[in-house]
Amino acid sequence: MTLNAKPLLLSSLLAAFTLVTTTGCGAWWLPRAHKIEIQQGNLLPPETVAKIAEGMSKNEVVSLLGEPVVTNMFDRQRWDYIYSLNRSGDTPEAKRLTLIFENDRIVSIEKDGLS
């Protein structure tokens, strides 16, 4: 190998190494980054939500769903059960169950994102 070929070989190897290492996670042959799933709020299983009915007491609701995540300090008669699920790269999923009480009994049920 001639004296001039060594720098050319080294620069070619350096260029190849740089190209391979800078492709990062975009290369199909490299392992993918872990996608994080973030759940927040109250879990709202459809079979449990279906059991919620007008006339139920606050204690009955708490025994089924637990305490609400969001409480309105100005309106203690409104309980909001909120659930969100965020997966990397996907559209966030949100569900909301709002219960309105009067004299410790449910008088109104609002469902958003729930069946």
More confident residue, 90 or 59: 59
- Of 104, 83, 99, nearest to 51 (Cα)? 99
Indicate whether 26 and 50 sit together in one domain. no
Domain count, the chain: 2
Distances (CA, A) of 21 to 15, 27, 79: 10, 10, 52
The pLDDT of residue 104 is above 80: yes
Which range marks the domain in which residue 88 is found? 34-112
Indicate whether 20 and 57 sit together in one domain. no
- The tens digit of pLDDT for each residue in 10-39 reads 788 877 777 666 655 555 665 666 677 888
Burial class of residue 34 in the structure, from the number of CB atoms within 10 Å of its CB (0-12 exposed, 13-18 middle, 19+ buried): exposed
Average pLDDT over residues 71-90: 85
pTM score above 0.75: no
What whole-number distance in Å separates Cα of residue 49 and Cα of residue 94? 15
